[in-house]
Amino acid sequence: MTENQIANKIIGCALEVHKALGPGLLESAYQECLFYKLMKEGLAVAKQKPMPLIFEEVQLEIGYRIDILVENKVVIEIKSVEALNDVHLAQTLTYMKLGGFKLGLLINFNVSLLKQGIKRVINGEL
């Protein structure tokens, strides 16, 4: 399955979660529900996946964690904020660069229409 096919499934599941819950909850609630929906779809998902930082020959376990990683290919960063900003995008890009992932989805569930809260993040060629 390609990154784009995975992303389409993720977005479909996220839309279902948002339709059922609406805006205004904590990020952790959306994360758990989206994780559950993705598992029900038969996708391989990891929640709060540790992401070490490698500097020269030293691997640093400094607490970076990907909200959800799908099929070991697509990073999902979940937010429940008034508006996405550059620091949220930078956080997603950092996780993608550390793990060598090409595609990420930055999803803000605190919006009235979820399509306004989804940002595709691309690292390199897809």
Residue 97 has pLDDT above 70, yes or no: yes
pLDDT for 124 = 60
Q: Find the farthest-apart pair of alpha carbons in the chain and give their distance in angstroms, rounded.
A: 46
pLDDT for 62 = 78
pLDDT, the chain, mean: 93
Residue 126 has pLDDT above 70, yes or no: no
Residue from 81, 71, 79, 65 nearest 103 by CA: 71
Distance, CA of 122 to CA of 126 (rounded, Å): 8
For 71-84, how does the pLDDT look when each residue is reduced to its tens digit (9 = 90+)? 999 999 999 999 99
Classify residue 52 as left (phi > 0), alpha (psi -120 to 50) or beta: beta
More confident residue, 38 or 62: 38
Segment 102-125 shows an average pLDDT of 92
Structure tokens at 37: 């929906």
Distance, CA of 80 to CA of 45 (rounded, Å): 21
